């Protein structure tokens, strides 16, 4: 599943190129997770003012309204001057004067939704429960993060994945940040001291920033809007490395299941 780094890499790969483009038309393929919310023909003539991001949602800011794009489990965007004929998994095309933005999504858990503004429904409903943006200056506060952890009794990795305290710390990045901070994924969130929470706060920012620099993680078929794959998975210290020696102490990395997801950690370096 594309997580925050992959979504941010996607945004960076086409945001400047589509800025200022006038929409010529839109095409819908098979139904996606949620309806578009207006007649696709109504998008023609509108201008793309910019592309923002909130959590894993891309926000195409138009001169009239906003398009929210979610990549779901298997979605990806491409932006090209001319696109080939749409295939069976190409479910949305936005044709503009700068090129065509296409959503490709084999599993169709993605979505493109129009809203009058980010504060109007349905955008307000989709964005309301999202936590702090970890890479935005001033939004991810260490004290607020620790206070939020103190109110949660679930294992720390599950709290990170929930996304209501901090967004974008997906399965790969939660394992890596917890390793960097020396915290076992099964540790109860409310038991973390302020110094340990501060270490985790810093690790989350470091890991996510590094992932963006490396183009995200390509485990299956993720690529940016220009077709480039990511390389962060090659830098992973524990994720996907069960049985291999810990890069710090040499202890074999362990793999467990948490909430139907694989978790990787070093039993020596990471403590409850």
C-alpha of 149 from chain center = 21
On whether the CB atoms of residues 150 and 185 are closer than 8 A, the answer is: no
CA nearest to 156, candidates 252, 272, 3: 272
Candidate list 19, 54, 98, 261, residue with the active-site label: 261
Q: Which of 53, 56, 184, 196 is catalytic?
A: 56
261 is catalytic: yes
Residue ranges of alpha helices (H) inside 140-268 are 142-150, 156-162, 171-181, 194-213
Structural tokens at position 238: 């524990």
| Rounded CA Rg of the chain | 20
Q: CA 9, CA 222: separation in Å to the nearest integer?
A: 11
Other beta carbons within 10 angstroms of residue 271's beta carbon come to 11
Q: What is the DSSP letter of 120?
A: S
Query: Residue 229 carries which DSSP code?
Result: P
CB-CB neighbours of 46 under 10 Å: 18
Q: Which is catalytic among the residues 3, 6, 8, 176?
A: 3
Active site residues: 2-3, 56, 261
């Amino acid at each position: 599943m594309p997580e925050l780094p992959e979504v941010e890499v996607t945004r960076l790969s086409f945001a400047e190129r589509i800025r200022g483009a006038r929409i010529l038309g839109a095409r819908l393929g098979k139904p996606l997770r949620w309806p578009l919310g207006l007649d696709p023909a109504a998008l023609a003539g509108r201008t793309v003012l910019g592309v923002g991001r909130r959590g894993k949602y891309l926000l195409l800011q138009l001169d009239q309204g906003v398009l929210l794009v979610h990549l779901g489990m298997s979605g990806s965007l491409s932006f090209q001057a001319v696109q080939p004929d749409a295939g069976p998994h190409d479910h949305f095309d936005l044709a503009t004067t700068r090129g065509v933005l296409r959503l490709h999504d084999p599993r169709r858990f993605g979505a493109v939704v129009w809203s009058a503004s980010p504060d109007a429904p349905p955008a307000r409903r989709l964005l309301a429960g999202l936590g702090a943006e970890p890479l935005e200056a001033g939004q991810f506060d260490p004290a607020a993060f620790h206070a939020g952890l103190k109110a949660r009794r679930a294992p720390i990795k599950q709290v990170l994945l929930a996304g209501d305290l901090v967004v974008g710390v997906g399965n790969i990045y939660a394992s890596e940040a917890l390793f960097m901070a020396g915290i076992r994924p099964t540790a109860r969130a409310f038991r973390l001291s302020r110094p340990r929470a501060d270490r985790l706060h810093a690790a989350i920012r470091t890991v996510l920033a590094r992932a963006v620099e490396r183009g995200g993680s390509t485990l299956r078929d993720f690529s940016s809007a220009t077709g480039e794959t990511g390389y962060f998975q090659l830098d992973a210290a524990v994720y996907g490395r069960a049985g291999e020696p810990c890069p710090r102490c040499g202890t074999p990395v362990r793999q467990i299941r948490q909430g139907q997801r694989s978790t990787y950690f070093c039993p020596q370096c990471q403590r409850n």
